[in-house]
Structure 1
Amino acid sequence: MNLFETTLEKIVENDALHAKLLNTLSLMENVGARKISKYEHPVHVSLTVLKHAAEEARHAFYLKKQIGKLDENLCPDYSAEYLLAPIQSHQYLHQLDAKVCRYLYGRGLTGRAMQDAAYILVTYAIEVRADDLYDIYQRVLTKHNSKVNVKSIILEEAGHLEEMTRMLNEFDANWKPIADDVCKIEDELHQQWIKGLVEEVA
């Protein structure tokens, strides 16, 4: 059992902490949805991008709604007092986006080409993480017979990962080493986030 799973065990056992986790994940999904909407080209928007934005927003709503299974009075909004590791959670996606853009700029990409590449690569890294994160979370929820579940999100995130892999193949036939670099950048931020969760639980 890794540090993240051990921390989740402690969180799920406490309704107040668990509600904050759900609220935090909802916030992060909502930030993702807003980032996709901001990225969208005013004219040339694909069905895949629209679908992705809609599903991220739905995940934010779904996670927020799950809080009611614990206590409807918990975590009314995204204020810092209702989040776990609020600074890391707010900055996570923004930092990842900025770091990946700097990485791509170093490889000679600028303007819309850089934005398109960053969208695909950042989303891919997030989907790889989400695939693992929600799987571990559901395992802990099942173990504790929790009323909360994230099974529908797991199914949709798996579909997102397939779509992003297809888009990466279209972006660059030799995308794997680039995606690996981006996943390393994401992992550093994820570890900082976990550290923030551990400190809150402690």
Structure 2
Amino acid sequence: MSYTISKVETDFPKLNSFLKKVIESPKQHFLWLNTLSLLEHIGSRKILLTQSNQNTSEMILRHATEEARHALFFKKAANSYREDQEATYKNNELLRGSSAKIYFAKLDASVRKELKKSNIAPEHHSFLSYLYTTTLIELRALDVYESYNQILRNTLASFQLDNLILEEEGHLDEMQKEIMSLDSEYMTRLERLIQKENTLFSKLLNQFILAVV
């Protein structure tokens, strides 16, 4: 990994305990995989909704496509636990689906609020919001996916996340380069946003844990 941005804080013992418990139950594992699919789908949809204009770049199209492919990957993995019908994104087929959606929405709102307080020209806010939100999500995803992937390996699961993790790392490299070119205060701004994300994810993880107790 060549990016130099800070990492999020992760309570790995708590995260790993949750992941091991999820994998022990086919039903809970199905819900978890489908929730990961939902989060990737939200990311892809948001990119297309907010960044589809005359300035849409190859990077944006590639990123939206890869997020959609990740959503499909997790959806297929979830469906491998179903025999009767394909999974939807209804709440009863998600692990704390409402909490997951709230996490994403509040994180995005925090980024937009931070940018409004800055001296950055308003015409750059939408693109920077995409860059910062994506960076925060993918920093978090790397911690979660790498821990999850190790457990999948240890249990000899039928699928692993190696290629997906490599793509997320590539996204972070691209995000950093773009942010640095637009925001001279990106390091201190990102640190503030990481602290907000840490709080939001801690609450989300607690909700996930309550769902599998």
1:74-93 matches, within 5 Å, as: 76-93=87-104
Q: Deviations over 1:66-95 (max 9, x none)?
A: 123333447620111111111111122111
* Counterpart check, 1:6 vs 2:17: yes
Q: Which amino acid aligns with 2:69?
A: R
Which whole-Å CA distance do the structure 1 matches of 2:174 and 2:136 have between them? 13
Q: How does 1:84-103 map to 2 (within 5 A)?
A: 84-103=95-114
Give SS of 1:2's match: helix
The residue aligned with 2:128 is 117
On the 8 A contact 2:40/2:67 being kept in 1, the answer is yes
Query: For residues 71-125 of structure 1, what are the alpha-carbon distances to aligned partners after superposition, in whole Å with 9 as ceiling and x for unaligned?
Result: 3447620111111111111122111111111111122456432212211111111
Percent of aligned pairs with the same residue? Answer: 30
Contact 1:37 1:53 in 2 (8 A): yes
CA distance in 2, matches of 1:26, 1:159: 20
Q: Which residue of 1 aligns with 2:174?
A: 163
Q: Say which SS state the counterpart of residue 89 (structure 2) adopts.
A: coil
1:196 to 198, 204, 207: 207
SS at match of 2:209: helix
Q: Provide the residue aligned with 2:8 in structure 1.
A: none
Correspondent of 1:56 among 58, 67, 90: 67
Query: Quick one: which amino acid aligns to residue 173 of structure 2?
Result: E
1:179 match:
190
Task: Choose 43-52 or 165-174, whichever is displaced more.
Answer: 165-174
Give the structure-2-normalised TM-score: 0.89
Q: Which runs of 5+ in 1 are unaligned?
A: none
Gaps of 5+ in 2: 1-11
Q: 2: CA distance between counterparts of 1:15 and 1:74?
A: 15
Whether the 8 Å contact between 1:67 and 1:74 is mirrored in structure 2 is no
Number of equivalences: 202
| Worse-superposed segment, 51-60 or 107-116 | 107-116
1:24 equivalent to 2:35? Answer yes
Greater RCO, CA 8 A, separation 6+: 2
Distance 1:75 1:197 in 2: 22
Q: What is the identity, as a one-letter code, of the residue corresponding to 2:126?
A: Q
CA root-mean-square deviation = 1.6
